[in-house]
Amino acid sequence: MEIIARIRSDFSGKFGIPRQSGLVEALGAEIVFEPEYRVEEALRGLEEYSHIWVIWGFHENAGKEWSPTVRPPRLGGNTRIGVFATRSPYRPNPIGLSCVRLLEIRHGAEGPVLCIAGGDMMDGTPVYDIKPYLPYVDIRPDATGGFTDRTVKRTVAVEIPAILRERMPAEKIDALEGILREDPRPAYQDDPDREYAFEFGGKRIRFHVENSVLKVTEIY
């Protein structure tokens, strides 16, 4: 498959990225087309849709061995289940699928750029295709969610001291809080003395979690 575009996002690494699309609606990103696909006509009519499907690649996992069973974070990271019953990034073909909100199509020197929200992709992620989200067929009210119907999604309260908030651009605070509420720690780790860190929006965020409260200790 040809790479038609790449993601431009605030994540330079994998840690901290929401585990599914749509979890953090305040999280913005852009889809920047490769030069040969910067064709206005190819996007004609897309502005009428509120959401799109993005088919992309786990490029940092390419070439890595896959396992027939994986340990989903939603199950605590200790229970194994078949890879095809999960959305694990470690698959025979490292392909991702995300439903994101289409905010606008910006036109400029880079051609048409799709501004999106609610993504779960790191900066530089290759995009292979884009399709419109169609409510009349894509919404399934009677659908069942497998093991996710039987588990409780782990979230935490977030505390960011005012002096640290000032170090983040104001337009990125809501996204940062949403990311942290989803508790980016590995599901099997719950050590209140352990400190974690990740890159977001050109800043390094450090935090620890105690009694279901995530406290940001540094932003620099």
Tens of pLDDT, residue by residue over 19-65, are: 999 999 999 999 999 999 999 999 999 999 999 999 999 998 767 88
Q: What is the mean pLDDT of the chain?
A: 94
Query: 3-state DSSP call for residue 90?
Result: coil
pLDDT at 164 over 90: yes
Give the distance, in angstroms, between the CA of residue 183 and the centroid of all CA atoms in the same chain. Answer: 13
Q: How far is residue 75 from each of residues 66, 134, 135, 186, measured CA to CA in Å?
A: 19, 31, 30, 11
Number of H helices, E strands in the chain: 3, 12
pLDDT digits (tens, 9 = 90+) for 93-143: 999 999 999 999 999 999 999 999 999 999 999 999 999 999 999 999 999
Provide the β-strand partners of residue 219.
205
- Residue 76's pLDDT band (cuts 50, 70, 90): confident
Answer whether residue 152 shows pLDDT above 90. no
Full-model pTM:
0.92
Give CA–CA dist 96/103, Å, rounded: 21
b/e code 207-217 from CB counts within 10 Å (16+ = b): bbbeeeebbbe
